[in-house]
Amino acid sequence: MNDLLEKYFKGETSLAEEQVLKNYFLSGQISAEHELYKALFDTFEDEKQYKLTAPLKMVADKQSSGKHIWIKTVSYSGIAAALILALWVVKPAKQSDTFAIISGKKIESPEYAQKYAEAKITKVNNMLRSSMKPMRSLSTVRKGLEPLRKISETKEKIEEIKNKVQF
Protein backbone atom coordinates (compact mmCIF):
# COMPACT_ATOMS: atom_id res chain seq x y z
CA MET A 1 0.00 0.00 0.00
CA ASN A 2 2.92 2.35 0.75
CA ASP A 3 4.31 1.85 -2.76
CA LEU A 4 0.89 2.48 -4.26
CA LEU A 5 0.45 5.68 -2.21
CA GLU A 6 3.89 6.91 -3.24
CA LYS A 7 3.07 6.18 -6.87
CA TYR A 8 -0.31 7.97 -6.45
CA PHE A 9 1.26 11.17 -5.12
CA LYS A 10 3.76 11.16 -7.99
CA GLY A 11 0.82 10.96 -10.41
CA GLU A 12 1.90 7.63 -11.86
CA THR A 13 -1.05 5.39 -10.90
CA SER A 14 -3.51 3.88 -13.33
CA LEU A 15 -7.27 4.19 -12.86
CA ALA A 16 -7.40 0.62 -11.55
CA GLU A 17 -4.70 1.38 -8.96
CA GLU A 18 -6.53 4.52 -7.88
CA GLN A 19 -9.70 2.46 -7.45
CA VAL A 20 -7.75 0.04 -5.23
CA LEU A 21 -6.68 3.01 -3.08
CA LYS A 22 -10.22 4.38 -2.88
CA ASN A 23 -11.61 0.99 -1.89
CA TYR A 24 -8.89 0.61 0.74
CA PHE A 25 -9.74 3.94 2.38
CA LEU A 26 -13.48 3.30 2.19
CA SER A 27 -13.14 -0.18 3.72
CA GLY A 28 -12.55 1.16 7.23
CA GLN A 29 -9.67 -1.27 7.76
CA ILE A 30 -6.87 1.26 7.43
CA SER A 31 -3.51 0.76 9.11
CA ALA A 32 -2.42 3.44 11.56
CA GLU A 33 0.35 4.71 9.28
CA HIS A 34 -2.20 5.48 6.55
CA GLU A 35 -4.74 7.29 8.77
CA LEU A 36 -3.33 10.70 7.79
CA TYR A 37 -4.36 10.14 4.14
CA LYS A 38 -7.95 9.21 5.07
CA ALA A 39 -9.11 12.86 5.12
CA LEU A 40 -7.92 13.30 1.53
CA PHE A 41 -9.82 10.29 0.22
CA ASP A 42 -12.90 11.14 2.32
CA THR A 43 -12.98 14.58 0.71
CA PHE A 44 -12.86 12.99 -2.74
CA GLU A 45 -15.77 10.74 -1.77
CA ASP A 46 -17.76 13.74 -0.45
CA GLU A 47 -17.20 15.60 -3.71
CA LYS A 48 -18.61 12.64 -5.68
CA GLN A 49 -21.97 13.09 -3.95
CA TYR A 50 -22.55 16.49 -5.53
CA LYS A 51 -24.74 16.23 -8.63
CA LEU A 52 -24.51 18.66 -11.51
CA THR A 53 -27.85 20.31 -12.12
CA ALA A 54 -26.88 21.89 -15.43
CA PRO A 55 -24.64 20.95 -18.34
CA LEU A 56 -20.94 21.60 -17.82
CA LYS A 57 -20.98 24.51 -20.28
CA MET A 58 -23.68 26.28 -18.27
CA VAL A 59 -21.74 25.79 -15.02
CA ALA A 60 -18.63 27.25 -16.63
CA ASP A 61 -20.62 30.28 -17.80
CA LYS A 62 -22.01 30.82 -14.30
CA GLN A 63 -18.55 30.57 -12.79
CA SER A 64 -17.37 33.42 -14.97
CA SER A 65 -20.06 35.57 -13.37
CA GLY A 66 -18.15 35.40 -10.08
CA LYS A 67 -16.87 38.86 -10.87
CA HIS A 68 -20.48 40.07 -11.01
CA ILE A 69 -21.19 38.56 -7.60
CA TRP A 70 -18.27 40.48 -6.12
CA ILE A 71 -19.43 43.68 -7.79
CA LYS A 72 -22.94 43.20 -6.37
CA THR A 73 -21.49 42.31 -2.98
CA VAL A 74 -19.37 45.43 -2.86
CA SER A 75 -22.26 47.56 -4.13
CA TYR A 76 -24.72 46.24 -1.55
CA SER A 77 -22.13 46.59 1.19
CA GLY A 78 -21.43 50.15 0.15
CA ILE A 79 -25.12 51.04 0.07
CA ALA A 80 -25.71 49.47 3.47
CA ALA A 81 -22.65 51.16 4.97
CA ALA A 82 -23.69 54.53 3.52
CA LEU A 83 -27.20 54.17 4.96
CA ILE A 84 -25.89 53.20 8.38
CA LEU A 85 -23.32 55.99 8.32
CA ALA A 86 -25.95 58.51 7.23
CA LEU A 87 -28.28 57.46 10.04
CA TRP A 88 -25.47 57.53 12.59
CA VAL A 89 -23.76 60.79 11.59
CA VAL A 90 -26.77 62.91 10.69
CA LYS A 91 -28.96 63.13 13.77
CA PRO A 92 -31.18 66.16 13.24
CA ALA A 93 -33.32 67.50 16.05
CA LYS A 94 -36.56 67.15 14.08
CA GLN A 95 -37.73 63.66 13.17
CA SER A 96 -39.51 64.96 10.04
CA ASP A 97 -36.18 66.00 8.48
CA THR A 98 -34.75 62.49 8.77
CA PHE A 99 -35.39 60.26 5.80
CA ALA A 100 -33.75 57.80 3.46
CA ILE A 101 -34.49 57.06 -0.15
CA ILE A 102 -34.83 53.35 -0.83
CA SER A 103 -35.73 52.15 -4.32
CA GLY A 104 -36.86 55.68 -5.21
CA LYS A 105 -39.22 56.01 -2.22
CA LYS A 106 -38.77 58.42 0.66
CA ILE A 107 -38.62 56.50 3.93
CA GLU A 108 -38.91 58.55 7.11
CA SER A 109 -38.60 55.68 9.57
CA PRO A 110 -35.00 55.19 10.76
CA GLU A 111 -35.96 51.75 12.11
CA TYR A 112 -37.13 50.65 8.67
CA ALA A 113 -33.99 51.99 6.99
CA GLN A 114 -31.82 50.22 9.56
CA LYS A 115 -33.71 46.92 9.08
CA TYR A 116 -33.35 47.32 5.31
CA ALA A 117 -29.59 47.88 5.65
CA GLU A 118 -29.26 44.88 8.00
CA ALA A 119 -31.20 42.69 5.55
CA LYS A 120 -28.87 43.72 2.73
CA ILE A 121 -25.80 43.01 4.86
CA THR A 122 -27.21 39.60 5.81
CA LYS A 123 -27.83 38.83 2.14
CA VAL A 124 -24.24 39.78 1.27
CA ASN A 125 -22.91 37.62 4.12
CA ASN A 126 -24.96 34.65 2.90
CA MET A 127 -23.66 35.09 -0.64
CA LEU A 128 -20.08 35.23 0.63
CA ARG A 129 -20.60 32.19 2.86
CA SER A 130 -21.97 30.11 -0.01
CA SER A 131 -19.27 31.24 -2.45
CA MET A 132 -16.55 30.31 0.07
CA LYS A 133 -17.88 26.78 0.68
CA PRO A 134 -15.46 25.12 -1.80
CA MET A 135 -12.57 26.85 -0.05
CA ARG A 136 -13.50 25.12 3.23
CA SER A 137 -13.25 21.72 1.52
CA LEU A 138 -9.85 22.69 0.17
CA SER A 139 -8.79 23.70 3.67
CA THR A 140 -9.73 20.22 4.94
CA VAL A 141 -7.54 18.64 2.26
CA ARG A 142 -4.63 20.92 3.17
CA LYS A 143 -4.93 19.98 6.86
CA GLY A 144 -4.97 16.30 5.90
CA LEU A 145 -1.81 16.70 3.81
CA GLU A 146 0.11 18.60 6.50
CA PRO A 147 1.66 15.39 7.96
CA LEU A 148 3.15 14.64 4.50
CA ARG A 149 5.33 17.71 4.81
CA LYS A 150 6.59 16.51 8.18
CA ILE A 151 7.35 13.08 6.72
CA SER A 152 9.39 14.59 3.89
CA GLU A 153 11.28 16.82 6.36
CA THR A 154 12.07 13.78 8.51
CA LYS A 155 13.22 11.85 5.45
CA GLU A 156 15.55 14.72 4.48
CA LYS A 157 17.04 14.81 7.99
CA ILE A 158 17.65 11.05 7.89
CA GLU A 159 19.41 11.46 4.51
CA GLU A 160 21.55 14.25 5.98
CA ILE A 161 22.55 12.10 8.92
CA LYS A 162 23.27 9.17 6.60
CA ASN A 163 25.55 11.38 4.45
CA LYS A 164 27.42 12.70 7.51
CA VAL A 165 27.96 9.20 8.89
CA GLN A 166 29.41 7.97 5.56
CA PHE A 167 32.00 10.81 5.38
Interval 93-133: pLDDT, tens: 455 567 778 888 888 888 888 888 898 888 888 888 777 77
> Where residue 47 falls among pLDDT bands split at 50, 70, 90?
low
Confidence grade of residue 16 (pLDDT, cut at 50, 70, 90): very high
Band (60; pLDDT cuts 50, 70, 90): very low
3-state secondary structure of 100: strand
pLDDT at 57 over 70: no
Contact 113, 87 (CB under 8 A): yes
DSSP 104-145: TEEE--HHHHHHHHHHHHHHHHHHHHHHTHHHHHHHHHHHHH
The pLDDT mean for the chain works out to 78
